[in-house]
Amino acid sequence: MSSCISTSNVDVSHKVAIRVGLSVVLLCLLFIALINIIIDPEGVYLRDYLGKKHSESQAAQLLSSEFGLPYTGAERPFKYALARVSKADCYVIGSSRAFQISLRKEGWLPEECATLANLGVSGGSMEDMLILSDGLRRKRFSGVFLVLDPWDLNSGLPSRWVGYERQFDRIAESLGVSFPQRSTNIFDRVRNVINFSYFMASYEKVAELGLGALPNFEYVPLSEVARFDTDVGLSSAVTLTDGSHVYAATFIENSKEPDLSRLNYMEDRVAHDTLGVEVLEGLLDFYNNIDVKVTLLLSPYHHRVFNDSNSAYREAITNIEKLIREIAEDKDVKVRGSYDPRVVGCNETEFFDAFHPTINCMSRIDLN
């Protein structure tokens, strides 16, 4: 009898322990999801909803401002709106590694680019290039810089273009490119909202911006920034009138001793496939057909990435660069820059981290 009671108690204890464990796991996932939805570093949740409501007004305000606006974080709707309302001579499309392409470096850009709109977005990928190109398809302008990262020819990346399916499908059809059936929006959003790497991106944004990482729940015209030293920055990040990005002063100061711990950034995504190559070729034809000069631009990595001649990551991004140059040669398109900072001539001090070059490094690339 006592043995049966003892066994029963053990079973109850195990069940309680399992329930407690599951509850802890669920609470942790709920916490991660809540932070990701609210902070939303790449603008696919709350920032996406709010940003779309206010984006065109913000884009118009940016273009009418003298020096720029505080960075809001709702990048994708904002940059798509900027693509639609801007009347710039030239455009920049890419990831955060394209943020520093700017008119603030006098004499760097070609003469035909007297005005510029930088449409770079954090975590930019092939899908972003397509959608932002869709925003430009009815415009007349001189040139576009496609800033290609080593993962941009990989068609299998997680979708961050949810909410822009109509634009995506329209431009894909224009390019004559067929994509396989993608997972539903709901599945994509749920999968990404409990993604730990997205949570770390949320944490980094809070660490950089503090309360400034919270989105604006109601649209209020932003206070335009006054003239400031872009090499020093302000207390929060700034989007300049040409769409380029100036990091917050603390981030710029900390980058004087940059974090070089992540030397193999996005290593699992550095790849190419047939569809990715077809998309790039289609984009080059698309711009050629609307008589727009295309320049493929490669942003350098820090020297540490290239110091190890036996590095598999170095070999992977070097092979992608070779492929990009082959595609460009076949399409008679110029490639400027290189993933190798030694080719560009950058100094080791001209990086914010292992994969984000400063404007001083980027401006060493001859764009003429």
pLDDT of residue 258: 83
CATH number, domain of 155, equals 3.40.50.1110
Is residue 123 domain-resident? Answer: yes
pLDDT attached to residue 99? 96
Q: Is residue 37 part of a domain?
A: no
Cβ atoms 92, 119 nearer than 8 A = yes
- Residue keyed to tokens 């954090």: 122
Give the alpha-carbon dihedral of 313, 319, 324, 329, to 10 degrees.
Answer: 160
For residue 305, give its domain range.
Answer: 55-186+211-362
**pLDDT of the residue at 29:** 84
Does residue 264 lie in a domain region? yes
Answer whether residue 24 is part of any domain. Answer: no
Answer whether residue 199 is part of any domain: no
What pairs with residue 69 in β-bridges?
239
Chain centre distance of CA 200: 15
Classify residue 158: in a domain, yes or no: yes
Sheet holding 68-70, edge to edge: 68-70, 238-240, 245-246
48 domain residue, yes or no: no
- How many domains does the structure of the chain reveal? 1
The answer as to whether 50 is a domain residue is: no
Decide: helix, strand or coil at residue 295.
strand
**pLDDT tens, N- to C-terminus, the chain (368 residues):** 555 555 555 566 777 778 888 888 888 888 888 888 888 887 778 776 776 777 888 999 999 999 999 998 778 889 999 999 999 999 999 999 999 999 999 889 999 999 999 999 998 888 899 999 999 998 999 999 999 999 999 987 766 666 778 888 899 888 888 877 654 455 666 777 777 778 888 888 888 888 778 877 776 788 999 999 999 999 999 999 999 999 999 999 988 888 887 777 777 788 888 999 999 999 999 999 999 999 999 999 999 999 987 788 999 999 999 999 999 999 999 999 999 999 999 999 999 999 999 999 999 999 98
d(CA 233, CA 252): 7
As a whole number of angstroms, the distance between CA 277 and CA 200 comes to: 31
DSSP track, 93-144: E-SGGGTT--TTSTT-S-TT-SSEEE---TT--HHHHHHHHHHHTT---SEE
* DSSP-H helix ranges across the chain: 2-39, 46-64, 75-85, 126-136, 165-175, 185-193, 196-209, 249-254, 274-289, 303-307, 312-331, 341-344, 359-362
Q: Phi/psi class of residue 244: alpha, beta or left (left: φ > 0; alpha: ψ in -120 to 50)?
A: beta
The structure's pTM equals: 0.77
Say if residues 99 and 145 touch (Cβ distance below 8 Å).
no
CB-based contacts of 87: which residues, under 8 Å, 6+ apart?
Answer: 115, 139
